[in-house]
């Protein structure tokens, strides 16, 4: 049953019709628990709220299904406006983005040119940009573009997913770049040809890559709500004398708030991923797929 619901939410998230309908009707079905709003201003206010109790942020302007050059350029413009708004408001947040929203599926050149515009603006503001990792089909090209960008920018990082078989090799390959990585379990439905199907194998691999990247001496964002992974990291950094400046915990907006605040109280750096924008549906479906128990929020909110 759980697997069926997971698959259903993952498919719905990819449906263009469902995304288009959702866009038209605005934040619904309890999505506001996971999405900070539809406008930049709403997202900045959400970040301000987080900053007040010591949580820092990464803002993501949601954009899925970009099929024309004009849409990709517009999406890059929104990223630039987000960076400007962060600087203007004086809140503590960097930017996360998805390269498909910058035209990756149209042409690599278009995507790279949009990335360069964004990174130039981020550099001007002394800010940092994180490239989210999407499904397996985009993994190699995303890493290739990251490598290309790293030649000219040191304010860019990427995400590595523990569920992929290739991941340990990627961590080794990224060592020479001194890559700033966000490590996650992985959110997409992948084939057992390329990804561990069992949770326990994903968790084991996750621990291995956390250890490896930290011991390689590079900045590591551990992006998980899994208390076992968080506790593992706490013990590991302590046992190995790894400084609090070399890592941070990251969690998603609206998920495990108490844990977020607890970690701040314990003195850890905690960054919250704050998505916003009219294109919220795909993101919302991925959160439901991760935890079908969230569906009761949807049901409750349908009748509000």
Q: Return the active site residues.
A: 132, 182
Minimum distance between the CB of residue 293 and ligand FDA, rounded to whole angstroms?
7
Nearer to ligand FDA, 87 or 255 (CB): 255
Number of residues that bind ligand FDA (CB under 6 A): 23
Q: Which is nearer to ligand FDA, 46 or 251 (CB)?
A: 251
CB 166 within 8 Å of CB 134: no
Contact 195, 136 (CB under 8 A): yes
Taking the complex as a whole, how short is the minimal distance between the CB of residue 246 and ligand FDA, in angstroms? 18
Cα 29 → chain centroid: 22
Q: Token digits for 234?
A: 């706490």
Which of 37, 103, 186, 277 is in the footprint of ligand FDA by CB under 6 A?
A: 186
Stretch that binds ligand FDA, among 13-21, 139-147, 182-190, 275-283 (CB under 6 A): 182-190
- Provide the token pair at 249: 């915990």
For ligand FDA, give the closer residue by CB, 218 or 286.
286
Q: How far is the CB of 181 from ligand FDA (least distance, A)?
A: 11
Q: Does 251 bind ligand FDA (CB under 6 A)?
A: yes
Q: How far apart are CA 18 and CA 32, in angstroms?
A: 17
Query: Contact 155/119 with Cβ under 8 angstroms?
Result: yes
Residue 185 interacts with ligand FDA (CB under 6 A)?
yes
How many Cβ atoms are within 10 Å of 44's Cβ, its own excluded? 24
The reply to whether 264 sits near ligand FDA by the rule CB under 6 A is no
- Length of the chain in terms of residues written: 304
Helices 257-265 and 227-239, axial angle in degrees (round to 10): 20
Q: Is 32 in the site for ligand FDA (CB under 6 A)?
A: no
Q: Which is nearer to ligand FDA, 38 or 60 (CB)?
A: 60
Residue 136 sits in the site that holds ligand FDA (CB under 6 A): no
Instruction: Measure the CA–CA gap between 39 and 26, rounded to whole angstroms.
Output: 11
Tokens coding 280: 């919220």
CB of 274 to ligand FDA, least distance (A): 9
Among 42, 77, 226, 292, binds ligand FDA (CB under 6 A): 226
- Asked if 55 is part of the footprint of ligand FDA (rule: CB under 6 A), the reply reads no
Which parts of the chain fold into alpha helices (H)? 2-14, 16-25, 40-52, 69-89, 108-124, 139-150, 167-175, 199-215, 227-239, 257-265, 281-290, 295-302
Contact call for residue 247 and ligand FDA (CB under 6 A): no
- Strands 270-276, 56-61: parallel, antiparallel or unpaired by DSSP? parallel
Is the separation of the CB atoms in 165 and 192 below 8 Å?
no
Q: Among 36, 50, 159, 195, which residue interacts with ligand FDA (rule: CB under 6 A)?
A: 159
Report in angstroms how near the CB of residue 98 gets to ligand FDA at its nearest. Answer: 8
Instruction: Please say which residue, 22 or 162, places its beta carbon nearer to ligand FDA.
Output: 162
> Any contact of residue 161 with ligand FDA (CB under 6 A)?
yes
Q: Are 57 and 51 in contact (CB under 8 A)?
A: yes
Residue nearer to ligand FDA on the CB measure, 69 or 227: 227
Note the residues at the interface with ligand FDA (CB under 6 A).
Answer: 132-133, 159, 161, 184-188, 223-226, 250-252, 255-256, 273, 287, 290-291, 294
């Amino acid at each position: 049953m759980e697997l069926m619901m997971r698959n259903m939410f993952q498919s719905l998230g990819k449906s263009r019709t469902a995304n288009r309908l959702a866009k038209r009707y605005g934040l619904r079905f309890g999505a506001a628990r996971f999405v900070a709003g539809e406008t930049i201003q709403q997202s900045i206010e959400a970040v301000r709220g987080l900053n007040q109790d010591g949580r820092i942020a990464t803002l993501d302007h949601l954009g899925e299904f970009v099929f024309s050059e004009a849409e990709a350029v517009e999406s890059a413009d929104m990223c630039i406006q987000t960076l400007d708004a962060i600087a203007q408001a004086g809140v503590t947040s960097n930017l996360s983005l998805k390269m498909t929203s910058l035209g990756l599926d149209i042409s690599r050149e278009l995507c790279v040119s949009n990335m360069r515009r964004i990174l130039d603006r981020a550099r001007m503001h002394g800010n940092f940009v994180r490239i989210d990792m999407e499904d397996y089909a985009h993994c190699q090209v995303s890493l290739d573009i990251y490598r290309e960008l790293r030649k000219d920018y040191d304010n860019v990082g990427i995400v590595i997913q523990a569920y992929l078989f290739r991941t340990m090799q990627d961590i080794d390959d990224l060592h020479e770049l001194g890559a700033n990585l966000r490590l996650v379990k992985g959110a997409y439905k992948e084939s057992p040809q390329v990804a561990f199907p069992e949770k326990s194998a994903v968790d084991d691999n996750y621990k291995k890559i956390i250890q490896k990247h930290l011991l390689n001496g590079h900045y590591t964002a551990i992006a998980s709500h899994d208390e076992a992974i968080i506790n593992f990291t706490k013990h590991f950094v302590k046992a190995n004398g790894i400084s609090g400046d070399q890592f941070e915990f990251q969690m998603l907006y609206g998920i495990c708030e108490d844990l977020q605040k607890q970690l701040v109280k314990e003195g850890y750096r905690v960054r919250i991923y704050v998505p916003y924008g009219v294109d919220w549906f795909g993101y919302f479906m991925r959160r439901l797929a991760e935890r079908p128990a969230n569906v009761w929020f949807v049901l409750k909110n349908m009748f509000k």
